[in-house]
Amino acid sequence: MSQPVFSTDRHGWAELLPARTPTAAISGTRRCHWAVVGAGFTGLACARRLAVLHPEQDIILLDARALAQAASGRNSGYAVGCSHFPGAFEPARLAGYRRVNRINAAGLSLLREQVHRLGIRCQWHEQGFFHAAADAQALAEVPHFADYLSRLDIPHRVLEQSALQAQLGTDWYARAVQVQIGALVQPAALLYGLAATLPPNVTLHENSPVLQVQTGAGITLQTPDAVVDAERLVIAANFEAATLGIIRPETVGSTLSGSFTRRLSADERASLGELAQWGVLSLHSGGATVRLTEDGRISVRNTAEYHGGKLLPDTALRKRQAIHRQAFENRFPQLRAVPFEFGWSGVEGISRNGTNFFQHPRRNVWFAGGYNGSGVSRGTAFGTAMADYASGGQSALITDCLGSPAAQWLPPRPVLDIGAWFTVRRRFRGVGRDR
């Protein structure tokens, strides 16, 4: 049986950490009570909760790659507490706004508790984010976003250019809304810590892609070197879930890219305002995401494109870094001499109507995924709730997750590829100075 290609490389946040030896790929014939496919934030959270609910049962957690080499380890490290819904506040959507933010808050709370209780060193910094604007389209979002936050009683403040410069060390942004909930993390370090502290009845196997799934009275998963017979299956493979053949394709992979500087000197850091670390999200959906990390690097992420759900090859990534470089120097001319040290690309799963997936598609099969770029906290909440749901439980969080709207239909390839290419490109309309 030929093995599908799961795009990966040596880049990402893991590249900034000490080398880690992956767990052994699964081999032989195995039996378990639960199989969980995908060891990102959703799969890790699900496996952890299943182990607590069923301490006498075996849980096998499989990932096609090494830990942190898929989307969970290649995002910009924002554990979102509240979501930005573009445009003016719509009273008819109030229940939906609150539902999504309850899920965000639940995931953030779960991660906070685990990071502190388990002593996970992941640069956790829970002071919220700046949602900033530099050009006309993003500036128009400032009053909309502030009004939405006020109506939902979410703590925030609006900052003008001079106050932003004092905080961030750049006069590039004209206005911003500082939302005071949410955490910045080193996502690969967080994943490593969550995996290292899994309960003893969970066994993680990396570099173990599932090639085929057969369902019936039981479930059989085939990997390159193993056959796994499981009583129940949870799929937490996000946009790649459809490769298993039992989930209808409802998401596409958008490839993003970014760069890290080297560590800044003390004098260089002193030029960046009052805060020791911070995160800026653009109020334009195609705008740059910029961070000053705890270890003194600036990261810039500002490209998104349809690339068939694959990472960028190094030649293409070097070309994208010219775009990152321009965005960096626009914002921080005083740091023009600071070089980039690393670059990375990552693939986010996006659905046509921005929905998430919390489903029970077949007997003894469950699926959670589709976070549209907000998977750190939301994936944690979905994974935890899915473990409860698949175990027959009921909770307010399960109800909220089940409330996700149905996904809009996606056409088959090659029409899908053409439509996805244009859809991703539309993100950059009117981005201007926010790129």
Alpha carbons within 13 A on the beta-carbon side of 217: 0
Average pLDDT, the chain: 94
Alpha-carbon torsion, ordered 189, 41, 372, 239, to 10 deg: 110
- What CA–CA distance (Å, rounded) separates 217 from 232? 10
Name, in order, each residue with C-beta under 8 angstroms of 216's C-beta and a sequence gap of 6 or more: none
Q: How confident is the model at residue 1 (pLDDT cuts 50, 70, 90)?
A: very low
Question: What would you measure as the largest C-alpha separation in the chain, in angstroms?
Answer: 65
- The reported pLDDT for the residue numbered 278 is 97
Query: With bands split at pLDDT 50, 70 and 90, how would you rate the model's confidence at 229?
Result: very high
Q: What percent of the chain has pLDDT over 90?
A: 83
Helix/strand/coil percentages in the chain, nearest 5: 35, 25, 40
Backbone angles phi, psi at 419, to 5 degrees: -65, -40
Angle 185-150-148 (CA atoms, 0-180°, nearest 5)? 75
The string of pLDDT tens digits covering residues 333-381 is 999 999 999 999 999 988 877 889 899 999 999 999 988 888 999 999 9
Does 112 have pLDDT greater than 90?
yes
Say if residue 407's pLDDT is above 90.
Answer: no
Question: Domain segments of the chain: what residues?
Answer: 1-126+187-250+353-404, 129-180+253-351+425-434
This prediction has a pTM of 0.96
What would the pLDDT profile of 232-290 be if each residue is shown by its tens digit? 999 999 889 888 988 887 888 899 999 999 999 999 999 999 999 999 999 998 999 99
Look at residue 415 in the predicted model and tell me its pLDDT: 76
For 392, phi then psi, to 5°, come to 90, 10
Which pLDDT value is given to residue 3?
A: 59
Ordered DSSP codes for 234-254: EE--GGGGGGGSSS---EEEE
Is 168 within 8 Å of 275 (Cβ atoms)? yes
Phi, psi of 147 (to 5 degrees): -65, -45
How far apart are alpha carbons 118 and 184 in whole angstroms?
18
Q: What is the pLDDT of residues 143-155, one digit of tens each?
A: 999 999 999 999 9
For residue 435, is pLDDT > 50?
Answer: yes
Report, as an integer, the average pLDDT of 389-417.
88
**Architecture in CATH of 129-180+253-351+425-434:** 2-Layer Sandwich (3.30)
Whether the predicted pLDDT of 2 surpasses 60: no
Instruction: Decide if 1-126+187-250+353-404 and 129-180+253-351+425-434 have a common fold.
Output: no
CATH numeric code, 1-126+187-250+353-404: 3.50.50.60
Q: For residues 207-213, give the mean pLDDT.
A: 95
User: Which of 368, 208, 179 is closest to 278 using CA atoms?
Assistant: 179
pLDDT, one tens digit per residue, over 290-318 is 999 999 999 999 999 999 889 999 999 99
pLDDT tens sequence across 11-50: 999 999 999 999 999 999 999 999 999 999 999 999 999 9
**Residue 141: pLDDT above 50?**
yes
Q: Tell me, what's the pLDDT at 352?
A: 77
Angle of CA points 171, 138, 80, to nearest 5°: 90
Give residue 176's pLDDT: 98
Instruction: For residues 327 and 206, give the distance between their C-alpha atoms in angstroms, rounded to a whole number.
Output: 36
Helix (H, G, I), strand (E, B) or coil at 361: strand
CB 76 within 8 A of CB 291: yes
**Phi, psi of 288, rounded to the nearest 5 degrees:** -75, 145
